[in-house]
Amino acid sequence: MEAKLIGLGVETFKLALYLALPMLMGGLIAGLTVSIFQATTQINEMTLSFVPKIIIVVGIIIFAMPWMMQMMIDFTTKIFNMIPDFLF
């Protein structure tokens, strides 16, 4: 019983990482690109680094939403199917 709960917790953390990773990587790449551009041109504008990150993260969310929803639906279905195992 405890092993199943620990496995479920580990799987939950993995799912959270899988779902967050595309947005985090997109923001990281956008931030690095804008930082290199700012260092090269010596433009120090705060909104220049913030706006592209927001646009890219929102774009990735829109693009990846079907995949993210399918992963969450599969995980939720798996949890609902495991309920009888945890009751007895």
Task: Give every CB contact of residue 30 below 8 A, 6+ residues apart in sequence.
Answer: 52, 53, 56, 57
Do residues 6 and 86 make contact, with C-beta atoms less than 8 angstroms apart? no
pLDDT tens digits, residue range 9-25? 999 999 999 999 999 99
Domain residue limits, the chain: 2-87
| pLDDT for 43 | 83
* Cβ–Cβ under 8 Å, residues 22 and 66: no
Question: What global pTM score does this model have?
Answer: 0.79
Residues of the chain with pLDDT under 50: none
Helix H segments across the chain? 2-41, 46-87
**According to the model, what pLDDT value does residue 49 have?**
81
Q: What is residue 44's predicted lDDT score, i.e. its pLDDT?
A: 81
